[in-house]
Structure 1
Amino acid sequence: MKKITIYLLIGVLSIGSLFTSCESVKNTNKTQRGAAIGAVAGGVLGAVLGNNIGKGGNGAIGAVLGGVIGGVAGGVIGNKMDKQAREIQTAIPGAQVERVGEGIRLVLGENSVRFDTNKSTLTAAAKANLDKLVPVFQSYADTDIVIYGYTDITGKPEYNLTLSEQRAISVEKYLESKGLNMSRFKMVGMGIADPIATNDTPEGRSQNRRVEFAITANEKMVEDAKKEAGN
């Protein structure tokens, strides 16, 4: 991973030097130059993130977040996602919020949405934290959200796959009960895949019993961004 990161950074820096040295680009503003570099580097970043996102190398979320609009429109979307990510972090300080490409990866673990062993029922604390997310999701209605449910390694893999899906569904149903549009959501059960902590200790298993969100622009946000960018 370190070698990939080094090569990627060298490549992006080289691209940045190429763009900033071109006479035709010198008259553009900083946002436009950044968007142009992002359009070229985005494909490389998406490929790397798709295989290496997070501690567990979460390829499922990486595949969703790896898609890049690029250009000025991508910059517009990125700015909106930056703002949303900050609001989520403020609403739930214990959550892991990560900006990936033009989307957001949100991990709700033991400090925010926690599940007991063999349970998919939301605790009172979990509901309280999801309540904090509702206003943010309502403010950014032009986003699609995939909810991934996970388990620890306890029990049979087939059972855990079903349990993880039930956890994702529990979260979606609760958010729907608070007025969010169900059509924005997809639920995916990941079972024991992509652990973010060791399964050898109770503490580690607790962290792996979690849900994650992949938040991306929907078609309306993309089209609005293209119009704003003058495409």
Structure 2
Amino acid sequence: MVVDDEQVLREGLRRILQSFDDIDVPVVCAGAEALEQARLHGPDVVLLDLRMPDRDGLTVLADLRSLPSPPAVAMLTNFDAEESLSAALRGGAAGFLLKDTAPEQLVHAVRALADGGSVIAPRLTRTVVDGFVRAQPEHRPPLAPGAARALTERERGVLVLLADGMSNAEIARHLAISPATAKEHVSAILAKLGVANRVQAAVAAYRAGLHDAA
């Protein structure tokens, strides 16, 4: 599902995505309609404009995340305002994409999100990480105490791949393990790090220096 107040952009994204047989875009809408349409169609992935005049993207994100089976939500933006991006991350966004993302990269991102992956446009990665780090209250550590040390060697390797934006299926292929095993590793990582989703886990990897050391 595509949620954006700009009709031209909405329809453009729909045309790109629906040109692939394995992707269906049942609806495109503005922010005020998003929750109702999500309940009606049950999308796996929602591409959501971060800033809309009719309804704030962060509010729509919260609505979507409150659904019994919430979709993976990627925020669409054409700017890199740190505060808004970090707020979306804390709100459970699974990805951050620029509105001018190339069609092939857009399709790859949607497939990764549908498979449980996370995506961050390279230009936005540092902004998202820095904003999330600065937003942490001083009295609360960004990770559970000793969390990074609690990871097994295999889990550390999976976390690095996760931080690169790989989906469970891609991690499984890279490590020659089953997708179910990859999913189990990711679930264990999220629990040990005390984070809510894969994007926050990716931030944790950068903070702990695991990604840079890979």
Tell me which of the two structures has the higher relative contact order, counting C-alpha pairs closer than 8 angstroms and 6 or more residues apart.
1
Greater C-alpha Rg: 1
TM-score normalized with structure 1 length: 0.28
TM-score normalized with structure 2 length: 0.30
